[in-house]
Amino acid sequence: MARFGPTRGEWRFRLIVSLCGLALMIGALAFRGIPTGPAFVEVVLIAGTFFGGSALWSLINLRKSDRD
């Protein structure tokens, strides 16, 4: 494991926060409907990419640290 990198606990925290953010975004989209125009880009593409990418990155690093 990296000497100066995040701990497993921090990776788990990042994963949980990312999944909660995705769940809240999906809940908002289900409750309010899918936005149109520039709001679609902001809400769905930017926020979805941020939370999804963060969750994926956390999962990859958690699995990688299992092998170390």
Does the predicted TM-score (pTM) go above 0.75?
Answer: yes
Tell me what percent of the chain is helix, strand and coil, each rounded to the nearest 5: 80, 0, 20
Could you read off the pLDDT of 21-32 as tens digits, one per residue? 999 999 999 999
- The single-letter DSSP state of residue 62 is H
Cβ atoms of 29 and 44 closer than 8 Å:
yes
Q: What percent of the chain shows pLDDT beyond 90? A: 65
Please report which confidence band the pLDDT of residue 2 belongs to, taking 50, 70 and 90 as the band edges.
low
Question: Where are the chain's structural domains?
Answer: 8-67
Could you read off the pLDDT of 4-16 as tens digits, one per residue? 888 999 999 999 9
